[in-house]
Amino acid sequence: MVSFRASSPRGRIVVFALTVLGTALIAAAPTPEGLSIRGQYAIATTFFAASLWVTGAFPLAVTALSIPFVLTTFGVYAELDAALVGFADHLIFLFVAGFMLANALQKYDIDRRIALYLMARMGSSPRRLVLAVMLATAFLSMWVSNTATAAMMTPIALGVLAQVVGEQGVAAASGGAAGSGSPDAAPDGGAGSTGESTTTDGAPTGDGATAGIATDDGFTNIQVSMLLGTAYAASVGGVGTLIGTPPNAVLASQLNEILGYEIGFAQWLAIGIPVVVVTLPLVWALLVYVLYPPRVENVSDARQQAARYLEEEGALDPRGRRVAYIFAATAGLWVLGGLDTFLGGYLPDAVRVTVFGGEGLSLFGVEGHQGVLYYVMVGLAAVPALVLADTMEWDELVDIDWGVILLFGGGIALAGGLADTGATEWIADSVFGSLTGAPIVLVVGAVVLLVIFLTEVTSNTATSTVIVPILIGLGSAFAATLGLAEVEAAIFLATSGAIAASFAFALPVATPPNAIVFGSGYLEQRQMMRAGVVLNVLMTLVLTGLIWLLYQFVWPSVLF
């Protein structure tokens, strides 16, 4: 008997057929009052894309590529060129450049060195060792995709953990995959016993290296807390910068597509960094003090192992140092480009226009300039800099996740179709109209809870791609409630939703980092569920309060 799965050939055909049927029914239904026929077709296209994204019948990028075809077939756009414009959006090239820069960091193991350095310096206790891993993961996730960061940090964490729980215990739990203690060993085993004896209260017995720290599932508390901490830190850290996680990119691109509004790199730092600073310590504290407190005292071996790994890396060669300089310069210029308000007044007008952008006369004698410090310009400049510095070849640069890039393009095309036909406003009024006039805290809480729930059952990228345009459409309905102009209300609500999309912790499917650590073989789903459900509830409350505070004291001067 053939089992049904959306990713199997049979399951894919069934899901696709049902999706096409549902799309046709929506398109053929009587047009609701207040919605144009093209808006109805845009909603039908949204159903088509969302169904395939949620079920995973097709890869996300394949579904994204189908969006311009469906939009043009329905006549939402009269010409295919208009439906394809989203794939050439300038923000897409920021992420192309960001991914290529991340490839350079990974080629020379710069990201790995940062992680090992923090672990060797901070890992003086089991809780601080977990914190060191989480801090390293969160920092790297701001600059390298959270998927790549989690994939890199998981084997490093396992290799260091081998020194805490003992080579024999880790090998037993994983089928020996990480038994060598190498940070590059990929675990491929599943649940199992550590093979060590424990007392009922978790105290060590005998001389077994892992005695007394195994949970009922055969995994130790420090294993579970560190691996969950790695996944959660990758997701939380990605909120910190505009290039840190796909939901941030989805927000930026769709605000630009629908409202013509640009979020600068420095602007996002003022939004994302406070979220990371507040939530990351809470996630760590809950894991290591409440849910899975480590039951070992001595982690000196793990700290020494991290130091040994770092020593084995050796000093950066000249090419690696040049990559580090280019990365530092790029990040610095990204921040500097957002300081026009503070620095622009001290520069001659022509210099200010050329450097920061504006409508006046530039140094080149032409009216208007994007500004050489515009963050997309800076990102694009980093790519030839890597080549000129003799650090990267083209085949190394081009080895990026083009599927994510295509997904961004499809999301922009879908958002444009919904916005151009007025469908976003209609959906927003229909779904959230009952909250009109409600207190702002209730509105934010409803948005955060909805996004976290949706993200648990589908990827955060797909969730944000579908929900952000709807939240933008809510601007007109909630402007009075929020005490903002319609555009400002739309930015506020959409930003709240995009942030929440990185805080789904309960299921492996919710985010790529969750899936990566779950696939290591050192976690059971119920362990992730236990931590994730508690964190989802806590983060819903924390994010609601934090976003309200930021809205009161920070965002007015940053976003509006």
Structural domain boundaries of the chain? 1-85, 95-318
Could you tell me what percent of the chain has a pLDDT over 70?
A: 88
Query: Model confidence at 427, in pLDDT bands (50, 70, 90)?
Result: confident
pLDDT tens, position by position, 55-70? 888 888 899 999 999 9
pLDDT tens, position by position, 262-311? 888 888 998 999 999 999 999 999 999 999 998 877 677 777 888 888 88
Query: Model confidence at 7, in pLDDT bands (50, 70, 90)?
Result: low
Whole-number pLDDT of residue 58: 87
Structural tokens at position 300: 């000196």
DSSP 89-132: -HHHHHHHHHHHHHHHHHHTTHHHHHHHHHHHHH-SSHHHHHHH
Of the candidates 239, 228, 224, 237, the one whose C-alpha atom is nearest the C-alpha of residue 137 is 237
Rounded-to-integer distance, Cα 367 and Cα 336, Å: 23
- Maximum C-alpha span of the chain: 81
- Which is higher by pLDDT, 553 or 161? 553
pLDDT tens, position by position, 483-528? 788 888 889 999 999 999 999 898 887 788 888 888 878 888 889 9
Q: Is residue 550 predicted with pLDDT exceeding 50?
A: yes
At residue 367, the 3 state secondary structure works out as strand
- Which is higher by pLDDT, 535 or 404? 535
At residue 204, the 3 state secondary structure works out as strand
pLDDT tens, position by position, 447-496? 899 899 888 877 788 788 888 988 888 887 788 777 788 888 889 999 99
Give the number of other Cβ atoms within 10 Å of residue 552's Cβ.
10
Could you tell me what percent of the chain has a pLDDT over 90?
A: 34
